[in-house]
Structure 1
């Protein structure tokens, strides 16, 4: 039996696990980002203020991204466009929206954009790892049809296997593959970023972009609910662009004089 996507009722309002999980991921990300920001010389108040702008932008862009590429459906169901609690938000859309706000805010307040992105990157990929479990509760972001034997061979607990029984067929738990990949990326970034003379400013963020986009390309290829552009998966196209772009910018910036990540705000970017 599938898990109930509704956590509880608050009066006549249904509170979904999807929203609870996403909100918890964001709160944890903000907490970790403010701690690291303080160590790097960024006032936590600046991070809080920036988040107040970044969160709405990320949410709106995540939904717009999804709706635009599913316009064939939403053009006939306009009342469902705002129903984000049922799922249907795109991670890449949210990242684009949040990135635009971070650049705007940092430029306005004379904060190193690259340093802020470095501080945020590990917390963002952790939030992505947690957020995928919201898709799990909604039975979204699943993969191709598979067998019960295959899922049992992954040594998954019964409650995950049962949740992967969608419309009478077992599905590849692609939400889990991406969650694990993102969690591993978090561990790698957190382990490496405090090593002296390893990362220059901007390189933690660029490593995050390359890491996530590389894994997302392969996971997306296993999904059956991908947003499509013609016969191509949009997320795979974007993953290739981001991976190549991140590597290219990394190499370009490494050739120029840049401050080390651990020097924080004592140097400009």
Structure 2
């Protein structure tokens, strides 16, 4: 039995439409900013620095995310140029957003004389939390879905009825890969928040590298289950390639920094212990 999909439009005010996709993304950003400000204050980073950086990073991230997506879907968009700006219908790539935002963070911190690794460590756990929330925007748009499955399989996962209903896409039930990634990201947030605040454990920059390792590992496998992936030559999934590279690069950099830079500052140092 097929079900009607949830309406991706939350509110209509005259000709103005507010999409659930935008609501989830905006909520994720606001929560990430708030948590980053709270954490940043503990390390002497002013809230104004966070606000100013976000004002630059957010539009850059959205633009880069869209460029990334359109670039790998150019066979379609070259004939539909008017749709390139329609980000409210979905179609932004998280890796593109992360690349754009990372560039802004680097340039901003260098300009303001804020340690880049420290800023990245402050925001990394909030970013993965934002990603967990943002995947529900994909859910409302019925995108980022997986391969065809059965109703009985979805029922065996003990999913709420509204999720099962929304996973009936293109005439068949689909794997809720948005949910798999959302849960993985949420677990990553909990893990990073706990590890990051262990005194005398992580060096500066290692929270960020652990974020990359965690996210890239999970994304590699989830991406392999999706049927709407961006691909390059011979149908190779670009996100799997990038996840593979980032996973091993982050591990290599973490080991290299530990081995060669013994004077790296700790993220949190217990003042009662002299190390």
Task: Say which SS state the counterpart of residue 228 (structure 1) adopts.
Answer: coil
Specify the alignment match of 1:176 in structure 2: 179
CA RMSD, Structure 1 to Structure 2 (Å): 0.6
Matched residues in 2 for 1:253 and 1:45: separation? Answer: 31
Specify the alignment match of 1:56 in structure 2: 59
Specify the alignment match of 1:221 in structure 2: 224
Matched residues in 1 for 2:171 and 2:72: separation? Answer: 27
Task: After TM superposition, give the deviation of residue 192 of structure 1 in Å.
Answer: 1.1
Task: Say which SS state the counterpart of residue 106 (structure 2) adopts.
Answer: helix
Matched, 1:84 2:87: yes
Task: After TM superposition, give the deviation of residue 11 of structure 1 in Å.
Answer: 2.4
Specify the alignment match of 2:272 in structure 1: none
Specify the alignment match of 1:260 in structure 2: 266
Matched residues in 2 for 1:95 and 1:174: separation? Answer: 20
Does the 8 Å CA contact 2:201/2:268 hold for their aligned counterparts?
A: no
TM-score, normalising length from structure 2?
A: 0.95
Matched, 1:202 2:205: yes
Specify the alignment match of 2:30 in structure 1: 27
Specify the alignment match of 2:273 in structure 1: none
Task: After TM superposition, give the deviation of residue 226 of structure 1 in Å.
Answer: 0.2
Does the 8 Å CA contact 1:40/1:262 hold for their aligned counterparts?
A: no
Specify the alignment match of 1:138 in structure 2: 141
Matched, 1:155 2:158: yes
TM-score, normalising length from structure 1?
A: 0.97
Task: After TM superposition, give the deviation of residue 218 of structure 1 in Å.
Answer: 0.1
Specify the alignment match of 2:76 in structure 1: 73
Specify the alignment match of 1:10 in structure 2: 13
Aligned length: 263
Q: Which runs of 4+ in 1 moved over 2 A?
A: none
Matched residues in 2 for 1:152 and 1:79: separation? Answer: 40
Matched residues in 2 for 1:169 and 1:12: separation? Answer: 33
List per-residue Cα deviations over 1:105-158 (Å, max 9, x = no partner): 000000000000000000000000000000000000000000000000000011
Specify the alignment match of 1:248 in structure 2: 252
Matched residues in 1 for 2:257 and 2:39: separation? Answer: 23
Specify the alignment match of 1:237 in structure 2: 241
Task: After TM superposition, give the deviation of residue 74 of structure 1 in Å.
Answer: 0.2
Specify the alignment match of 1:107 in structure 2: 110
Gap runs ≥5 in structure 2: 270-275
Gap runs ≥5 in structure 1: 264-269
